């Protein structure tokens, strides 16, 4: 437990450092984007956040798999916390993305963006995950159900992505083309630092929430021992 706390503190420290460097790099060092101008800077927050939430969802599924494999409530707790992180960062993606959309296209929301729609679907899906948890009595049954649902989530990601691909051009043509990863070195470096920062941030938040939840659990058990 002590070592656990320790690593959590360490990670959050790294997160802070990385975050500061990454953002300052983005603001002061990385060159301004040719066609999008200053608004492109949000890219350094937006995309790392998005990718981080993906990572969280996959982590949740991995833990869920372990639960079904081995059993044991600790995996349930971890999987749940990971989903929680994923949803938090997903919301951040939606917000930053919407802001970006507003500044660069003038709309808060555009259906024609793959990522957007995909994210909306995932967001709905994982919100339902919370519904499922809250309306089921805690216990082994709930742990397993949540685990299965979390695994469905990561399968849904590629499937929905494919679906949206197909839907495009059918529903309406892609209006905006944007050049993705092919950016110049300094941009890319900055991006990588920001990504690392976001991952570290998510990781430390994950560990903090987890330790909090575990503390509650052990406290409850203690109370019952005494009672």
Q: Name which of 188, 183, 216, 221 is nearest 80 in CA terms.
A: 216
Of 26-34, 109-117, 131-139, 148-156, which part binds ligand HEM (CB under 6 A)?
Answer: 109-117
In angstroms, the Cα distances linking 193 to 10, 25, 115 are 18, 9, 22
Nearer to ligand HEM, 67 or 94 (CB): 94
Full DSSP string of 149-182: HHHHHHHHHHHHHHHHHHHTTTSS--------S-
Of 77-85, 160-168, 176-184, 206-214, which part binds other proteins (CB under 8 A)?
Answer: 160-168
Site for ligand HEM in 146-205 (CB under 6 A): 178, 180
Residue 50's binding partner among ligand HEM, other proteins, none (Cβ under 5 to 8 angstroms by kind) is ligand HEM
Q: Does 119 bind ligand HEM (CB under 6 A)?
A: yes
Rounded to the nearest 10 degrees, what angle do helices 73-105 and 185-226 cross at?
140
Nearer to other proteins, 35 or 224 (CB): 224
3-state secondary structure of 33: strand
Q: Does 138 bind other proteins (CB under 8 A)?
A: yes
Cα-based angle 23, 25, 29 (whole degrees, multiple of 5) = 140
Residue 155's binding partner among other proteins, ligand HEM, none (Cβ under 5 to 8 angstroms by kind) is other proteins
How far apart are alpha carbons 184 and 181 in whole angstroms? 9
How far apart are alpha carbons 200 and 93 in whole angstroms? 17
Q: Does 43 bind ligand HEM (CB under 6 A)?
A: yes
Q: Does 26 bind ligand HEM (CB under 6 A)?
A: no
Q: Name which of 50, 201, 191 is nearest 122 in CA terms.
A: 50
Tokens representing residue 6 in the block = 């320790």
Q: Does 148 bind other proteins (CB under 8 A)?
A: yes
Nearer to other proteins, 54 or 125 (CB): 125
How far apart are alpha carbons 96 and 150 in whole angstroms? 25
Q: Does 115 bind ligand HEM (CB under 6 A)?
A: yes
CB 52 within 8 A of CB 202: yes
Q: Does 98 bind other proteins (CB under 8 A)?
A: no
Nearer to ligand HEM, 58 or 148 (CB): 58
Binding residues for ligand HEM, per CB under 6 A? Answer: 43, 46-47, 50-51, 93-94, 97-98, 100-101, 104, 113, 115-116, 119, 178, 180
Instruction: List contacts with other proteins (CB under 8 A).
Output: 68, 111, 117, 120-122, 124-125, 127-128, 130-132, 134-142, 144-145, 147-149, 151-152, 155-156, 159-160, 162-164, 166-167, 170-172, 220, 224
């Amino acid at each position: 437990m002590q070592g656990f706390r320790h690593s959590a503190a360490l990670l959050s420290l790294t997160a802070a450092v990385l975050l500061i460097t990454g953002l300052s790099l983005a603001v002061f060092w990385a060159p301004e984007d040719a066609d999008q101008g200053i608004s492109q800077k949000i890219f350094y927050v937006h995309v790392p956040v998005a990718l981080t939430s993906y990572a969280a969802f996959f982590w949740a599924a991995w833990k869920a798999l372990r639960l079904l494999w081995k059993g044991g409530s600790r995996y349930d707790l971890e999987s749940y916390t990971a989903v929680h992180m994923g949803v938090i960062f997903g919301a951040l993606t939606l917000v930053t993305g919407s802001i970006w959309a507003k500044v660069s296209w003038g709309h808060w929301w555009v259906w024609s963006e793959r990522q957007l729609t995909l994210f909306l679907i995932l967001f709905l899906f994982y919100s339902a995950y919370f519904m499922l948890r809250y309306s089921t009595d805690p216990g082994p049954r709930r742990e397993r159900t949540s685990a299965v649902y979390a695994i469905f989530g990561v399968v849904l990601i590629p499937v929905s992505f494919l679906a949206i691909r197909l839907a495009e051009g059918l529903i309406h043509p892609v209006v905006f083309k944007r050049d993705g990863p092919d950016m110049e070195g300094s941009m890319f470096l900055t991006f990588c630092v920001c990504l690392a920062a976001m991952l570290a941030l998510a990781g430390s938040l994950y560990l903090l929430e987890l330790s909090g939840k575990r503390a509650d659990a052990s406290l409850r058990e203690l109370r019952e021992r005494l009672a």
